[in-house]
A = this chain, B = another copy of it.
Amino acid sequence: MRRIICRVAYDGTTYSGWQEQPTAVTIEGELNKALQSLTGEEIHVIGASRTDAGVHALGNICVFDTDSTIPPERFNKAMNVRLPADIRVVESGEVAADFHPRHQRTEKTYCYTIWNGDTENPLWNRYSMHRYGEMDLDGMELAGKHLVGTHDFKAFCSARTSAETTVRTIYDVTVQRSVEKPELIYIRVTGNGFLYNMVRIIAGTLVEIGAGLRNRESVLYALREKDRTLAGPTAPAKGLCLEEIRYPDAFFPTIRAKL
């Protein structure tokens, strides 16, 4: 029996999120189905991040156990021929039998993409939220930096959370405009873990700050008061992408996929 680790990329548009459900099509469900077809074993993958419906990923991580003799680094190709085109296993390898993708110190980076053109762009509609008008990117980034550190993020978390604690650590928040396609704005948030809807609420709040609808200090006030109504709206799922999960020991040193 070996434990295999996979880096998984997907277009989440048509999926009901990561987590397997009896009556809905999910990323986890498709991976389990592909593995059963490949190995003949009943396999249930363990995911690092249970992304929401409509959220995308370039670097989600999962592990599973198998008796298959397929070489660990070849699982990705064998799985890909059995997966729909909008889910790809980017790479695979072997990890220690006791490695659990959620019981580890990690750094996760999410990217929230905004299409800042006058009109929606149909070629970015699946992967961004549309916001026209001038955006103050410096103000957005400065507000984002207020979130860096270890804080109680109760104000930036859906009431539907089941987390035991709402304390998390954010390592960095950056806001950048693409040089090649200046209509694209990327909000990147890196942390040790995120609460339910947390990145989307941060993005929604920063977008309001960028548009001049709220001031930068409102972020500090929301943090201090721990009041969800003091933060901005939850930005749409389609703009969110889980870019990367880094573990203390780098399993995949070679590939760092980017949107």
Q: Which of B89, B119, B123 contacts A11, CB < 8 Å?
A: B123
Q: Which of A76, A91, A126, A241 has the most CB of B within 10 A?
A: A126
| Contact residues in B for A10 (Cβ distance below 8 Å) | 122
Q: Which of B11, B123, B127, B180 contacts A58 (CB 8 A)?
A: B123
Nearest-neighbor residue (CB-CB) of A182 within chain B: B258
From B76, B119, B180, contact of A119 by CB (8 A): B76
- Tell me how many chains of this kind the complex includes: 2
**Number of A residues, CB within 8 Å of B:** 34
The dominant DSSP class at the A interface is loop
Residues of B within 8 A of A183 (CB): 258
What is the CB-to-nearest-CB distance from A172 to chain B, in angstroms, rounded to a whole number?
19
| Pairs across A and B, CB under 8 Å, 20 listed | A9-B119, A9-B121, A10-B122, A11-B125, A56-B123, A76-B119, A85-B122, A85-B125, A86-B122, A86-B125, A88-B120, A88-B121, A88-B122, A89-B119, A90-B118, A90-B119, A118-B255, A179-B179, A180-B180, A181-B258
